[in-house]
Structure 1
């Protein structure tokens, strides 16, 4: 099994840091100034995931709180970043973006003081690892083609199981074990939370996840309690699952200039899968068809069916923090609708 796992993961060898290695300066205030001895400029351009995640760990004081050795954190982040494949969308930039989005969302009113530092550590870690070693192919494609990962994980959340397995496999090397100072009980608890959150990014779980979230918020509303009280693990992890789901689907809520770049990358990835499906004699997935209208049609449908209901529900929890987000989402949908109308009109005129 060890050989099989190694073949599947194919985690590359990467640079490690020792206690003597200078730790990058990230331009933020920190209670550990002695750890910040050189500038990050040589790293940040090529290492966005490392730079952003290290900065977040500093800003949230996670390094000191959990006795994380800085050289191990850098070694782990380098290995993690190298393990993100060079695919158009699900790459290290996406990992960094979702981590940053998680960091921001955790500061939303309504939940800012709800989660403890341990839960925040788990949430930030889950966000940055959530798509590591993504192949740029969807779960249905891997299942249809009987990919090794689909066989290994019995067709259940294939990619998501793989991502979280790779993330924890990287921790097995002593020089990368950023949680070495946690107790066995703490590590077991952290792992459970991270696994639960990463598996929640499987879009196949969206409907159930959102329904449970809506039921939780309705119960809160019925109780007349303005403050979110989450007494059970199930309730706390449910909110965290939806939080990482929001972070993962946050591109559509960002200004058009940023969002349009992300969606163009996603479509390149989809079209490559469509080409592979065609070459294998498979039915081409609707979002993978190379057509001028595919992008707009897919995004309008995806926003209406998945993204807007999710963010609207989240907005009710953190009101009014999500108002601008929902307005931007609506503007991006309108942009697609206008684009689709123009393309349709052009096709009609030319026929």
Structure 2
């Protein structure tokens, strides 16, 4: 984690520490997962020469305060499912926690942004974090497939769709890592699922 914190400005350190503190110690959905997703996004942005650094911040926040019980939120009619009207309850919760963090005076990296710029950043952040809901997997991929043959970087809708696909790829990127890295993550995921079954 040390390298991760060294590459950000000192003004942002408090923000990232607060994000860290808002991750739970789940076997899989924890800050280490957030770190891996963010690192993969940075690699994709760098290797593809993309101008999407705000996507890295979305990766950091995409699982903030993730409850251990994550399956069947809607069917179980949990508090989160009711609060968010059965629409991506976990992902909406992650967004809400992220913007609660951003609103703290010592974490507000958007304090000097004009309202219109902040509105765009907020909507972009929400779009990307909600894209990590696997229930929307087919919808997002179908949308991207319709654009890929005539992709236009000047078209905001196309770029947004690309960002959504990228964060989805990063979220499940353990499978493309070396076996010695990927296998322990499988064990963590199975442990987390098993803990949910016992609840």
Alignment TM class, shorter chain as reference: over 0.9
Q: Distance in 1 between matches of 2:116 and 2:7?
A: 25
2:187 equivalent to 1:264: yes
Secondary structure at the counterpart of residue 160 of structure 2: helix
Partner of 1:99: 38
Extract unaligned runs of 5+ from structure 1: 1-47, 58-62, 64-69, 221-228, 277-351
**Larger Rg over CA atoms:** 1
Q: Distance in 1 between matches of 2:69 and 2:189?
A: 11
Q: Distance in 1 between matches of 2:108 and 2:89?
A: 25
2:83 equivalent to 1:175: no
- The alpha carbon displacement at 1:94 in A equals 0.5
Q: Distance in 1 between matches of 2:107 and 2:113?
A: 14
Task: Check conservation: 1:53, 1:99, Cα contact below 8 A.
Answer: no
CA RMSD after TM alignment:
1.5
Q: Among residues 67, 70, 87, which one is paired with 1:156 in the alignment?
A: 87
Partner of 1:89: 28
Partner of 1:244: 167
Secondary structure at the counterpart of residue 175 of structure 1: coil
Query: After the TM superposition, which parts of structure 1 deviate over 4 Å for at least 4 consecutive aligned residues?
Result: none
Q: Deviations over 1:186-231 (max 9, x none)?
A: 11111111110000000011111111112211234xxxxxxxx322
Q: Among residues 54, 63, 67, which one is paired with 1:135 in the alignment?
A: 67
Partner of 1:207: 138
Partner of 1:193: 124
Equivalent positions of 1:1-351 (< 5 A) are 48=1, 51-57=2-8, 63=9, 70-71=10-11, 73-109=12-48, 112-113=49-50, 115=51, 119-120=52-53, 122-140=54-72, 142-220=73-151, 229-276=152-199
Q: Distance in 2 between matches of 1:172 and 1:217?
A: 37
Q: Distance in 2 between matches of 1:52 and 1:91?
A: 18
Extract unaligned runs of 5+ from structure 2: none
Aligned length: 199
TM-score, scaled to structure 2: 0.94
TM-score, scaled to structure 1: 0.54
Q: Distance in 1 between matches of 2:196 and 2:35?
A: 24
Q: RCO (CA 8 Å, sep 6+): is it higher in 1 or 2?
A: 2
Distance verdict in 2 for CA 1:139–1:192, change over 3 Å: farther
- The alpha carbon displacement at 1:56 in A equals 4.4
